């Protein structure tokens, strides 16, 4: 099951209490204070890891507690520090404070570790409070409580390329053709109910990650269909492949399909239309020549890249992958500050 939102509670460990104690040694009749300090409470960390693409385990385990610090003991013995815990999250996870709405961190780098909740400081033993005029203090400090935070986790998948289009435009079939991913494929709409990632390996040095986004429909930005729940995953992609069904069985005319989907992207976030986009005419094995010509003419007139493919026969696949890789390279160069080039 794909889950991209979860609410959790984290509790750092409380600090241990200090100790009130006095030396009891032979031949030292008036031993001084010897109470040790309490240990620090355990911290709570979060770490981004590869291989996870869902927050489902947080649905069933919403509470996380670090270890408590040990209490101080006599003879100036300090309590042990509480055990830290590390919560693993998928790449692309955003962590928000539920109470303030503040973004605490955006995990975008593998292995990135961030302190989320700080453990309480251990209390000081009575040995700390001895002075020339107060040689036998009979009190100590209690440990401080660990930090408690209520967090909201949101996952935005990290992928280089996003596949967008109407349901049954051929996105899942294309992903299965170009990668080892095996999304559900069927001849009815909304077969993809959750984003699916696939890695495309062009050669030894070039590869990229493709995300199959569940099909969009008109009104998706307002919550219609399944698209509204997954549109945010498009935000992380660098290039969009806009798949358009040009078979005679398509519900919409190709140019109309292009305009409807782009309108939904723009209504959700205008920045999405600033991403490089390649229009991909799918199902060339059963294509209507008139539809192909209409879409290609429209793309040329508006300066949009156009590729015609058939994921079934393999027609145009090599050209599409090469042009996608070139588009990604141009996007990477554009993202580098001019001062660094």
126 and 192 both lie in a single domain: no
Average pLDDT value for residue range 14-27: 89
CA neighbours within 13 Å on the CB side: how many for 108?
A: 8
Among the listed ranges 27-31, 130-134, 283-287, which one has the minimum average pLDDT value? Answer: 27-31
In terms of residue numbers, what domain contains 83? 5-155
106 and 82 both lie in a single domain: yes
Q: Are 170 and 190 in contact (CB under 8 A)?
A: no
What pLDDT is stored for residue 340 in this prediction?
43
Separation between Cα atoms, residue 272 and residue 262, nearest integer Å = 9
> Who has greater pLDDT, 338 or 16?
16
219 and 299 both lie in a single domain: yes
- Final residue of a domain: which of 127, 155, 183? 155
Among the listed ranges 48-52, 69-73, 88-92, 100-104, which one has the minimum average pLDDT value? Answer: 48-52
Average pLDDT value for residue range 61-81: 95
Q: What confidence category does residue 30 fall into, taking pLDDT thresholds of 50, 70 and 90?
A: low
264 and 336 both lie in a single domain: yes
Separation between Cα atoms, residue 253 and residue 58, nearest integer Å = 43
- Final residue of a domain: which of 134, 155, 176? 155
Q: Tell the burial category of 320 from Cβ atoms under 10 Å away from its Cβ (0-12, 13-18, 19+).
A: buried
Which stretch, 125-134, 156-165, 171-180, has highest mean pLDDT? 125-134
Average pLDDT value for residue range 4-30: 88
What pLDDT is stored for residue 133 in this prediction?
87
What pLDDT is stored for residue 182 in this prediction?
60
77-122 confidence digits (pLDDT tens): 999 999 999 999 988 899 999 999 999 999 988 899 999 999 999 9
> Who has greater pLDDT, 183 or 197?
197
Q: What confidence category does residue 230 fall into, taking pLDDT thresholds of 50, 70 and 90?
A: low
What pLDDT is stored for residue 160 in this prediction?
87
The set of residues, in sequence order, having a beta carbon less than 8 Å from that of 11 and lying 6+ positions away, is 44, 63, 64, 65, 66, 117, 146, 147, 148
Average pLDDT value for residue range 129-134: 89
122 and 223 both lie in a single domain: no
> Who has greater pLDDT, 158 or 128?
128
167 and 272 both lie in a single domain: yes
CATH of the domain at 177: 3.40.50.300
Instruction: Pick the closest to residue 181 from 205, 204, 157 (CA basis).
Output: 157
What pLDDT is stored for residue 50 in this prediction?
79
36 and 62 both lie in a single domain: yes
Separation between Cα atoms, residue 51 and residue 239, nearest integer Å = 22
138 and 207 both lie in a single domain: no
CATH of the domain at 111: 2.70.210.12
125 and 238 both lie in a single domain: no
13 and 129 both lie in a single domain: yes
Q: What confidence category does residue 26 fall into, taking pLDDT thresholds of 50, 70 and 90?
A: confident
What pLDDT is stored for residue 207 in this prediction?
82
What pLDDT is stored for residue 128 in this prediction?
92
Looking up tokens 């009815």 gives 188
Identify the helix (H) or strand (E) that includes residue 325: helix 317-335
Q: Are 213 and 194 in contact (CB under 8 A)?
A: no
Separation between Cα atoms, residue 67 and residue 176, nearest integer Å = 45
Separation between Cα atoms, residue 296 and residue 299, nearest integer Å = 5
pLDDT at 297 over 80: yes
The percentage of residues in the chain with a pLDDT greater than 70, rounded to a whole number, is 87
Beta strands in the chain (DSSP E): 5-11, 44-49, 63-65, 85-90, 93-97, 103-106, 113-117, 148-155, 161-164, 196-201, 207-212, 239-245, 277-282, 305-308
Instruction: Pick the closest to residue 87 from 140, 130, 47, 49 (CA basis).
Output: 47
193 and 87 both lie in a single domain: no
What pLDDT is stored for residue 29 in this prediction?
62
146-172 confidence digits (pLDDT tens): 999 999 999 887 788 988 888 888 888
68 and 183 both lie in a single domain: no
CA neighbours within 13 Å on the CB side: how many for 242?
A: 24
pLDDT at 267 over 60: yes
Work out how many domains the chain is built from and give that number: 2
Mean pLDDT of the chain: 85
Q: What confidence category does residue 279 fall into, taking pLDDT thresholds of 50, 70 and 90?
A: very high
Virtual CA dihedral for 221, 226, 227, 232, nearest 10 degrees? 100
Instruction: Pick the closest to residue 114 from 69, 151, 164 (CA basis).
Output: 151
- Final residue of a domain: which of 87, 122, 155? 155
Alpha helix positions (H), 107-247: 171-178, 227-230
């Amino acid at each position: 099951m794909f889950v991209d939102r979860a609410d959790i509670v984290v509790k750092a460990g409380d600090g241990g209490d200090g100790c009130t104690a006095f030396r009891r040694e032979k031949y030292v009749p008036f031993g001084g204070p010897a109470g040790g300090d309490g240990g620090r409470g355990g911290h709570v960390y979060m770490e981004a890891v590869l291989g996870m693409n869902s927050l489902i385990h947080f649905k069933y385990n919403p509470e996380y507690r670090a270890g408590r610090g040990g209490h101080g003991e006599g003879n100036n013995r300090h309590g042990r520090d509480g055990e830290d815990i590390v919560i693993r999250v998928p790449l692309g996870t955003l962590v928000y404070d539920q109470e303030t709405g503040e973004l605490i961190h955006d995990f975008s780098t593998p292995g990135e570790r961030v302190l989320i909740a700080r453990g309480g400081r251990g209390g000081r033993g009575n040995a700390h409070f001895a002075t020339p005029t107060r040689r036998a203090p009979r009190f100590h400090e209690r440990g401080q409580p660990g930090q408690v935070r209520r967090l909201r986790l949101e996952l935005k998948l990290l992928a280089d390329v996003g596949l967008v289009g109407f349901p049954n435009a051929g996105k899942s079939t294309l992903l299965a053709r170009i990668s080892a991913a095996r999304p559900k494929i069927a001849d009815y709409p909304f077969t993809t109910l959750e984003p699916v990632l696939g890695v495309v390996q062009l050669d030894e040095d070039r590869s990229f990650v493709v995300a199959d986004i569940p099909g969009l429909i008109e009104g998706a930005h307002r919550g219609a269909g399944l698209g509204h729940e997954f549109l945010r995953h498009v935000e992380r992609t660098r290039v969009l492949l806009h798949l358009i069904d040009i078979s005679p069985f398509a519900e919409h005319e190709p140019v109309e399909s292009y305009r409807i989907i782009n309108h939904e992207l723009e209504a959700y976030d205008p920045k999405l239309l600033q991403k490089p986009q390649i229009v991909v005419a799918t199902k060339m094995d059963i294509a209507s020549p008139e539809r192909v010509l209409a879409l290609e003419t429209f793309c040329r007139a508006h300066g949009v890249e156009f590729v015609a493919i058939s994921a079934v026969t393999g027609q145009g696949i090599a050209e599409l992958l090469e042009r996608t890789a070139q588009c990604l390279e141009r996007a990477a160069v554009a993202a580098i500050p001019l001062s660094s080039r």
